[in-house]
């Protein structure tokens, strides 16, 4: 979300999504509030600090780790205030293990992705950190059924060997798909019986891999889909995977009528030959990506537009 006021963001979210609020992230506050720094602050027994080139793993918690944890605590306080007596699904999010490995640097300045042992340690630390985070949110909002979102915008680049080295002159080798899947499965498993969503706003989201790794839903930028994705999406839906369809622009744009925003979803459904009645059960309407780059006024309009578009989809699936 845009801005830096945790209470205002929580109030907006709780008021917009009465039946599916989420814990806002406010990266405009600076390092530690950004998605990588925020997740680095959640890690168990691993720490990171800000360098000119980005976030780098270190030996002990410093001021950057303390700042990240302080802001997360502030956000949790605000969420708790505006979700008193709430019962129902509540979404929290963190960076997934492979995007984190591509973003965090080792001491030599290279991405953790370059070292299989570092990737393994990072995934284990993330899993434990998420377990503690989920327990803390459950304590603060005891009536909530937590939905965990793992943000993996770099996942396709990791699978294709497109993550650049520190020099920028070469790329790190592609990670084996089975290892990627197994690591994701381990991190997804930390939520037990709870639902896990994997979000990627990059092209060519690996729907089948994410489904096998245990994701209950996949969140993506709907505008990046091509007809090449039809088969895997159809298989995912028939297997019970929910689609978080990003159809509302994440930055200030002129919004069409709500029915127009989900016209592409209806078209996809017809093309796949799926039952229209499945739409409301299988699709959640979302912004295409985060709203941090939007104006506060547009962010509020976009959230309200998602609700109206979802209602249109449910009322008129055909």
**Under a CB-based contact definition with an 8 Å cutoff, are residues 222 and 264 in contact?**
yes
Report whether pLDDT(256) > 90: no
Closest C-alpha to 96, from 68, 123, 136, 69: 123
pLDDT, mean of residues 263-280? 91
Compute the half-sphere exposure of residue 203: CA atoms within 13 Å on the CB side of its CA: 5
- pLDDT tens, 119-130? 999 999 999 999
The mean of the pLDDT values for the chain is 95
What is the model's pLDDT at position 81? 97
Q: How far apart are CA 28 and CA 303, in angstroms?
A: 19
What is the model's pLDDT at position 277? 87
Mutual angle of helices 63-82 and 35-42, in 10-degree steps: 90
What is the model's pLDDT at position 168? 84
What is the model's pLDDT at position 316? 86
The SS3 call for residue 193 is coil
Provide the H-helix boundaries in the chain. 6-16, 35-42, 63-82, 97-103, 116-140, 155-160, 177-188, 207-212, 230-238, 258-261, 263-272, 279-282, 296-315
* 6-24+69-315, CATH topology level: TIM Barrel (3.20.20)
Report whether pLDDT(317) > 90: no
- pLDDT tens, 169-189? 899 999 999 999 999 999 999
Q: How far apart are CA 112 and CA 95, in angstroms?
A: 14
Confidence tier at 194 by pLDDT (50, 70, 90): very high
């Amino acid at each position: 979300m845009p801005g830096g006021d945790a209470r205002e963001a929580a109030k907006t979210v709780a008021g917009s999504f009465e039946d599916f609020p989420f814990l806002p992230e406010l990266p405009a506050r600076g390092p530690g509030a950004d998605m990588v720094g925020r997740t680095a602050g959640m890690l168990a027994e691993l720490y990171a600090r800000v360098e000119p080139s980005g976030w780098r793993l270190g030996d002990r918690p410093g001021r950057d780790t303390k700042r990240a944890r302080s802001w997360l605590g502030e956000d949790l306080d605000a969420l708790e205030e505006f979700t008193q007596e709430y019962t129902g699904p509540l979404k929290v999010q963190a960076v997934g293990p492979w995007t984190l490995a591509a973003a965090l640097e080792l001491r030599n300045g290279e991405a953790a992705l370059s070292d299989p042992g570092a990737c393994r340690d990072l995934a284990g630390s993330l899993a434990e950190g998420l377990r503690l985070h989920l327990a803390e949110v459950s304590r603060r909002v005891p009536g909530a059924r937590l939905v965990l979102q793992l943000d993996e915008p770099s996942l396709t680049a990791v699978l294709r060997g497109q993550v650049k080295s520190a020099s920028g002159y070469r790329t790190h080798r592609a990670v084996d798909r089975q290892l990627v899947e197994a690591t994701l499965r381990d991190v997804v498993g930390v939520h037990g019986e709870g639902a896990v969503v994997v979000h990627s706003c990059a092209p060519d989201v690996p729907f089948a891999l994410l489904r096998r790794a245990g994701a209950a839903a996949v969140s993506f930028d709907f505008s990046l889909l091509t007809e090449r994705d039809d088969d895997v999406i159809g298989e995912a839906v028939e297997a019970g995977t929910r689609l978080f369809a990003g159809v509302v622009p994440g930055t200030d744009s002129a919004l069409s009528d709500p029915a127009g925003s989900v016209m592409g979803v209806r078209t996809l459904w017809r093309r796949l030959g799926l039952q229209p009645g499945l739409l409301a059960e299988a699709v959640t309407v979302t912004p295409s990506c985060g709203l941090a780059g939007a104006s506060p006024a547009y962010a509020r309009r976009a959230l309200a537009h998602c609700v109206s578009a979802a209602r249109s989809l449910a009322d008129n699936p055909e």
